[in-house]
Structure 1
Amino acid sequence: MVKLDVITTRGGDAGETSLGDGTRVRKDALRIEAMGAVDEANAALGLLRVQTAGEPEVDAMLARIQNDLFDLGADLCVPGTGDDRLRVTTAQCLRLEGEIAAMNAELPALRSFVLPGGSPAAAAAHLARTLARRAERAVVALAATEALNPEAVRYLNRLSDHLFVLSRRLNGNGAGDVVWVPGGA
């Protein structure tokens, strides 16, 4: 189990931090950028959970996703793709796909692109979606330079889809969606 007694270590004062395997890297390294972007997405999910506190099913989904994002952070903090380290799994990606399909089955088909907005909860879901996309871009950039668990990119790609569909659900199953009107409002 994790035990954190000392939070301020001063170990990063020179612009470096430690990875899960003890390797020291610069705080502006691609891996640290990717881990930070995943952390930002997780923080946005925390805000979304505040907006959806009265919906136990949504809260349970978001709680699982927040835990998954911590798993993803653990995956990213240890270089490589194998061994017995905690890694994001295919099962986690498949769970997201199942939740997307279940939510989407209740929604009307789209006839236009959806703008971020509508209810406060839907707007929060859209913000979380954009941060999940940022995390995906950062992980893709890292994967271009070194081997990563391929499920990491897949998970983030599914997560942004999940949050888009969830935003529509939170907008009264699409009734409150703000749709794009090309060329003007």
Structure 2
Amino acid sequence: MPKIYTKGGDTGQTSLVGGSRISKDHDKIEAYGTVDELNAWIGVLSDAPENAERKNILKEIQDRLFTIGAELASVPEQNRKKLPELFEPDIELLEKEIDLYSEAIPPLRAFVLPGGHPQVSFAHVARTVARRAERQVIRLSRSEPVNPLILKYLNRLSDYLFVLSRKITQEQNAPEITWKPRH
């Protein structure tokens, strides 16, 4: 069995799909590393018994995040492998889920704070990581071309995670903690 460690990154460099090596703090690495972190948080949500009925959609999201990570980690002109692709129907699936949840939950009347139930909080953590991933990809797009569907997907995913947090709040009869600014 091959070893998990290669020692190739010991000097602060890593390999991209296609073979190029770049610094581990490069915008490209920040972008796909944050997408990887987001994928881990989706895994946390997926493993919860409260999300058993959503396991398939969460697995689909994880698959798409891996697709995004692979695309961000590649150098297209050097890559000889066919990578999986992101498509508009992937975004439409999120929109469909957002619409379904939105019909079932009360209208939003105030800003909500993360909390009330552990799975609500985890959904909010995932949402904030999705927003950070989106910012990282925007930063990367200033220096190299980025598939616009990636930004669209990450934007829609953060919306999905917000609505999911509210849906879990409802399902668990948890309190929706609203922000009450001091006056």
Give the structure-1-normalised TM-score.
Answer: 0.90
> Of residues 1, 6, 11 in structure 1, which corresponds to 2:8?
11
1:128 corresponds to: 126
2:33 corresponds to: 36
- Structure 1 regions of 5+ residues with no counterpart? none
Distance between the aligned counterparts of 1:97 and 1:88, measured in 2?
15
2:74 corresponds to: 78
Distance between the aligned counterparts of 1:156 and 1:171, measured in 2?
23
Residue 55 of structure 1 and its aligned partner are, at CA, apart by 3.6
Give the structure-2-normalised TM-score.
Answer: 0.90
> Pairwise mapping of residues 87-166 of structure 1 onto structure 2 (< 5 A)?
87-166=85-164
Distance between the aligned counterparts of 1:140 and 1:80, measured in 2?
18
CA RMSD, 1 decimal: 2.1
Distance between the aligned counterparts of 1:182 and 1:79, measured in 2?
47
Residue 39 of structure 1 and its aligned partner are, at CA, apart by 0.8
Distance between the aligned counterparts of 2:74 and 2:138, measured in 1?
16
Structure 2 residue matching 1:171: 3-state secondary structure:
helix
> Of residues 32, 53, 58 in structure 2, which corresponds to 1:57?
53
Identity %: 44
- Structure 2 regions of 5+ residues with no counterpart? none
* Number of residue equivalences: 180
2:169 corresponds to: 171
Residue 175 of structure 1 and its aligned partner are, at CA, apart by 6.2
Q: Which runs of 4+ in 1 moved over 4 A?
A: none
Residue 44 of structure 1 and its aligned partner are, at CA, apart by 1.1
Distance between the aligned counterparts of 1:57 and 1:47, measured in 2?
14
Q: 1:121 to 1:141 in 2, by over 3 A?
A: same
> Of residues 64, 69, 93 in structure 2, which corresponds to 1:68?
64
8 Å CA contact 2:50–2:119 kept in 1: the answer is no
Distance between the aligned counterparts of 2:175 and 2:167, measured in 1?
9
Residue 88 of structure 1 and its aligned partner are, at CA, apart by 2.0
8 Å CA contact 1:126–1:167 kept in 2: the answer is yes
Instruction: Identify, as 1 or 2, the structure richer in helix.
Output: 2
CA distances 1:3-42 after superposition (whole Å, capped 9, x unpaired): x833101111111111111111111100000011001111
8 Å CA contact 2:131–2:154 kept in 1: the answer is yes
8 Å CA contact 1:75–1:85 kept in 2: the answer is yes
